[in-house]
Structure formats: structure tokens, C-alpha cells
């Protein structure tokens, strides 16, 4: 199992400078990945106003100030982005990082503030259609070959995008989805990894939920070989029996990545920084 940091792009972490500092600490502490949330808003205006950092700008700055740690988004709401713009940005970031970038995408949540506040389409069925089309477009453009597309929501004349991704085999695509829905995990089976959460977040996902999810993925793929399974949660980092049992249960359920949750629902910022500094679970 590999270990990463799962961190918001707002609040205490709503500054590019701060995120660069935390990523450097994470790399020095031996974490394998630094994954940024990709939100525009998370609360209604009357509830809370917070500073935000653009995750793509932040990841570019992080790529220029680190050398080993893997970088990615978790999760970019692809239906509110132009797929061709994401394709271009992702390849550029892959080259800047020398092949350390992972693109995580999903339908996006919460729909009221992430979409409605900007007069974007918030209907779940339409966003799912746009997500599927967007993924097809991104993969086609990353091929570096002539590509055109005619879909319900997007139409592209024939074009060729260069350069191709830095990584041999392309940029990994991690697909998010909310348990207990099934469609997101059938979609995830077509790509490199599944990144599930509970649809009633912050209610936690459980190992039994993951077994159910992987049953769907395996039925679609035929096998889980060379497939990544990403889960999030909290550990102390001090090598406790509780940490060991927790990670063992997730590993037994099929997880290949553990993302340590670093956000304000868990603790105050000093405690979160200390957890990053302590390094991956022992």
C-alpha cells in the first residue's frame, strides 16, 4: 500500500505558498503523493466565506518545488471544465513534474454551490453524461494522434494535441464516485483507479463498502490486476495497534492507496501539520 496526503484547497490551505510548504514537508516526511481538492465553493454564502487557492496553479508551483512526490487532483469536477482545456493543462503539468501527475475526476459536489451559483448545469444525469464525454475527449487528445468527437454535449473537429503526456502509458485517471451508487464505479472500471467516498460525506466509507464497490469494478473489468484503489481516512502516525488494524482491514478489502485526510473537520491546523510531518503510517 502507498500513502498520500489528501488536502483541501481552501481555508487554512487556501494559499499557494502554504500548499507548497506543506507539499515539501510531505515529500521530506516520505509520503508518496500529495492530492489537492478542486473546489470553487464548498459552502453557501450565508454559511461561510473562505480563502481558496486554484489547485492547478498550486500543483504547478508544487511541481517546481518538489522532485519525488506524486501530485494530483482529488477530485476535479470535469463537467464544469472544458475537457480540452483540462487535457492541455494536465499534459503541461505532467511535463513540468517529469511524470508525477495523476488526474482525478468526478461528477462534482456539492452541486448547489459548485454549479448553481455559477449558472452551470447541476442536473446529475447531465453532469454524468458530460463526465463520460469529457473523459473520452481527454483520452483521445492525449493520444497525440488526429482526433475528432461528436457527442451530445461536446463536438470537436479533427485536431492533434502535442506533446503527448510525459508518462509512458499516459497520465493515470482516478475516477471518483459516491457509495452506494453503482454507475460511478462502472465508469471507474474503464480507467486506472477508483477513488470512492460515501455519498453522505463526511460519513465515512467502510471496508465492507469497498468490497461492494470492487465487486462492481471487477465485474466490469474482469480483473483488478494493475488497478489502483484509493481510500481516505485518518491515522495517528505513531504505529498504534488501532492504526495497524485499520490499515490491515482496508488492505484486505482491496485498497492500494491510503490518503491521509488533512482538513479542518479533523483537527486544528497545527495538529494537521504535525500529522504530515510525522510521515506515513508506521
Sign of CA dihedral 58, 161, 74, 228: negative
For the chain, the domains span: 2-278
Would you state the pLDDT for residue 44? 76
C-alpha cell at 256: 492500494
Q: Which three cell numbers stand for residue 136?
A: 473520452
pLDDT exceeds cutoff 80 at 154: yes
d(CA 129, CA 134): 8
Return d(Cα 31, Cα 19) in angstroms, integer.
Answer: 15
* H-run or E-run covering 180: none
CA distance 27 to 214: 30
pTM score of the predicted model: 0.96
Q: Are 262 and 270 in contact (CB under 8 A)?
A: no
pLDDT higher than threshold 80 for residue 148: yes
pLDDT of residue 109: 92
Question: In the structure, what pLDDT confidence band is assigned to residue 242 with cuts at 50, 70 and 90?
Answer: very high
Residue 32: other Cβ atoms inside 10 A = 18
pLDDT at residue 233 in the model: 97
Smallest Cα–Cα separation from 32: which of 259, 197, 244? 259
d(CA 26, CA 260): 11
Q: Give me the percent of the chain exceeding a pLDDT of 70.
A: 99
User: What is the reported pLDDT for 43?
Assistant: 83
Tens of pLDDT, residue by residue over 106-121, are 999 999 999 999 999 9
User: Which alpha helices (DSSP H) does 37-144 contain, by range?
Assistant: 55-63, 83-96, 111-114, 124-142
pLDDT in tens, 159-189: 999 999 999 999 999 999 999 999 999 999 9
- pLDDT digits over 189-206, tens only? 999 999 999 998 888 999
Q: CA gyration radius for the chain?
A: 18
The answer to whether residues 255 and 231 touch, using CB atoms and an 8 Å cutoff, is yes
Q: pLDDT tens across 79-102, in order?
A: 999 999 999 999 999 999 999 999
The pLDDT of residue 247 = 98
Buried b vs exposed e over 123-157: b needs ≥16 C-beta within 10 Å? eeeebbbbbbbbbbbbbbbbeeeebebeeeebeee
Q: What is the pLDDT of residues 35-52, one digit of tens each?
A: 999 999 988 776 678 999
Q: What is the mean pLDDT of the chain?
A: 96
- Confidence grade of residue 282 (pLDDT, cut at 50, 70, 90): confident
- Tens digit of each residue's pLDDT (9 = 90 or more) over 6-33: 999 999 999 999 999 999 999 999 999 9
Superfamily name and number for 2-278: Luciferase-like domain (3.20.20.30)
Amino acid at each position: 500500500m502507498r500513502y498520500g496526503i489528501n488536502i483541501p484547497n481552501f481555508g487554512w490551505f487556501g494559499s499557494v505558498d502554504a500548499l507548497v510548504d506543506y507539499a515539501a514537508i510531505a515529500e521530506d516526511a516520505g509520503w508518496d503523493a500529495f492530492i489537492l481538492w478542486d473546489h470553487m465553493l464548498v459552502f453557501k454564502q450565508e454559511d461561510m466565506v473562505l480563502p481558496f487557492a486554484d489547485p492547478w496553479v498550486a500543483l504547478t508551483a508544487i511541481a517546481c518545488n518538489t522532485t519525488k512526490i506524486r501530485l494530483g487532483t482529488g477530485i476535479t469536477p470535469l463537467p464544469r471544465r472544458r475537457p480540452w482545456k483540462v487535457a492541455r493543462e494536465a499534459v503541461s503539468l505532467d511535463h513540468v513534474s517529469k511524470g508525477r501527475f495523476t488526474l482525478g475526476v468526478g461528477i462534482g459536489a456539492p452541486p448547489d454551490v459548485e454549479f448553481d451559483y455559477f449558472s452551470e448545469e447541476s442536473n446529475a444525469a447531465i453532469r454524468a453524461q458530460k463526465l463520460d464525454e469529457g473523459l473520452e475527449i481527454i483520452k483521445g487528445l492525449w493520444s497525440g494522434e488526429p482526433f475528432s468527437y461528436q457527442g451530445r454535449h461536446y463536438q470537436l473537429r479533427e485536431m492533434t494535441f502535442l506533446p503527448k503526456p510525459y508518462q509512458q502509458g499516459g497520465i493515470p485517471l482516478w475516477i471518483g464516485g459516491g457509495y452506494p451508487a453503482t454507475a460511478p464505479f462502472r465508469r471507474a472500471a474503464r480507467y486506472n483507479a477508483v477513488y470512492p467516498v460515501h455519498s453522505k460525506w463526511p460519513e465515512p466509507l467502510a471496508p465492507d463498502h469497498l468490497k461492494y464497490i470492487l465487486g462492481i469494478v471487477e465485474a466490469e473489468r474482469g480483473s483488478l490486476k494493475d488497478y489502483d484503489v484509493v481510500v481516505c481516512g485518518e491515522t495517528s502516525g505513531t504505529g498504534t495497534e488501532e492504526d495497524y488494524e485499520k490499515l490491515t482491514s482496508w488492505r484486505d478489502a482491496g485498497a492500494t492507496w491510503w490518503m491521509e485526510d488533512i482538513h479542518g473537520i479533523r483537527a486544528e491546523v497545527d495538529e494537521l501539520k504535525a500529522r504530515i510531518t510525522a510521515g506515513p503510517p508506521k
